[in-house]
Amino acid sequence: MDIFCLKGKTALVTGGSYGIGFAIAQALAEAGAGIVFNDINQELVDKGLAAYSEAGIEAHGYVCDVTDEPGVQAMVKQIEKEVGVIDILVNNAGIIKRVPMTEMSAEDFRKVIDVDLNAPFIMAKAVIPSMIAKGGGKIINICSMMSELGRETVSAYAAAKGGLKMLTKNIASEFGGQNIQCNGIGPGYIETPQTAPLREPGHPFNSFIISKTPAGRWGKTDDLKGPAVFLASAASDFVNGHILYVDGGILAYIGKMP
């Protein structure tokens, strides 16, 4: 029996039109899962459907803002009717606002918390009842280096991702008895649109991150594929409440001497 096989499973990846979510969905599809994703507007969903189709993946796309609980509840019911019960939830959708804390409005702070922390709660709350009825499920929350570390200008994001680490542990604690495993993936610094501003030619952050990463490079979305399949599959049935950092060693390393 291939313990990494996801045949017959339905995976929902939030914000899965591109970036990390798209790569994780590709990996789950390659392991046999049926792919469902949502994004915040039809244009992005269409973009995602075209990308999945080009990758040879027959995905189902839904327009849904993950912060809108009634909308999320309706989307999950629609998915269950049209595709099937969600066996694997990947809480990937997220935003970041890089603003010095004393210049950040409370509204902007709340918006980041809403998408990066409240929404994973809303999504998990929506899928858990059917997972329990089906005998179990997998929830993977996309955390961050900022689940463990802070840095200037990312106060809201770090607070959200730190909270997401503890929400992960709490879901694991509350539903482990119903065979639901909830774990996190903590990507390091990955080449996606979200980090593009930090990788502008000559941006000091670029060389800084390379000096802080033993692997000596930015991560690629492909680096997250194996860890995602592991946490989505039977191979991790006794792994619960764990944050798997996929960071090239950043969290282990003091940094290269200048």
Active site (catalytic) residues: 157
Rank residues 175 and 245 by Cβ distance to ligand GCO and give the closer one.
245
Opening angle at CA 25, ends 24 and 27, nearest 5: 65
Identify the residue among 13, 19, 90, 233 touching ligand NAP (CB under 6 A).
19
Quick note: the x/- pattern for ligand GCO over 40-69, rule CB under 6 A, is ------------------------------
Q: How far is the CB of 209 from ligand GCO (least distance, A)?
A: 9
Whole-angstrom distance, CA of residue 129 vs CA of residue 217: 41
Identify which range of 3-11, 80-88, 90-98, 129-137 contacts ligand NAP by CB under 6 A: 90-98
Tally Cβ neighbours within 10 Å of residue 153: 15
Q: Label residues 46-58 b or e (16+ Cβ within 10 Å = b).
A: ebbbebbeeeebe
The contacts of residue 145 (CB under 8 Å, 6+ apart) are: 186, 187, 188, 189, 245, 247, 250, 251
Task: Report the distance separating Cα 5 and Cα 237, nearest Å.
Answer: 13
Minimum CB separation of residue 40 from ligand NAP in Å reads: 4
Residue 216: C-alpha distances to residues 150, 199, 250 (Å): 21, 14, 10
Which range touches ligand NAP (CB under 6 A), out of 3-11, 16-24, 129-137, 200-208? 16-24
Q: Compare residues 34 and 188 and give the one whose CB is closer to ligand NAP.
A: 188
CB 2 to ligand NAP: min, Å: 27
- End-to-end distance of the chain based on CA atoms, in angstroms? 49
- Residue 143: CB atoms within 10 Å: 28
Binding residue (CB under 6 A) for ligand NAP from 94, 162, 163, 248: 94
- For residues 233-252, which are near ligand GCO according to CB under 6 A? none
- Of 186, 163, 165, 183, nearest in space to 175 by CA: 183
**Is there binding between residue 219 and ligand GCO (CB under 6 A)?**
no
List 77, 110, 151, 203, residue binding ligand GCO (CB under 6 A): 151
Residues between 74 and 113 with contacts to ligand GCO, criterion CB under 6 A = 96, 98
| Choice from 25, 123, 140, 145 touching ligand GCO (CB under 6 A) | 145
Give the whole-angstrom CA distance, residue 184 versus residue 217: 22
Contact 43, 73 (CB under 8 A): no
Which of 126, 138, 23, 35 minimizes the C-alpha distance to 89?
Answer: 138
Binders of ligand NAP in range 36-55 (CB under 6 A): 38-40, 44
Chain positions contacting ligand NAP, by CB under 6 A: 14-15, 17-21, 38-40, 44, 65-67, 92-95, 115, 142, 144, 187, 189-190, 192-195
Chain positions contacting ligand GCO, by CB under 6 A: 96, 98, 144-146, 151, 154, 157, 187-189, 194-195, 198
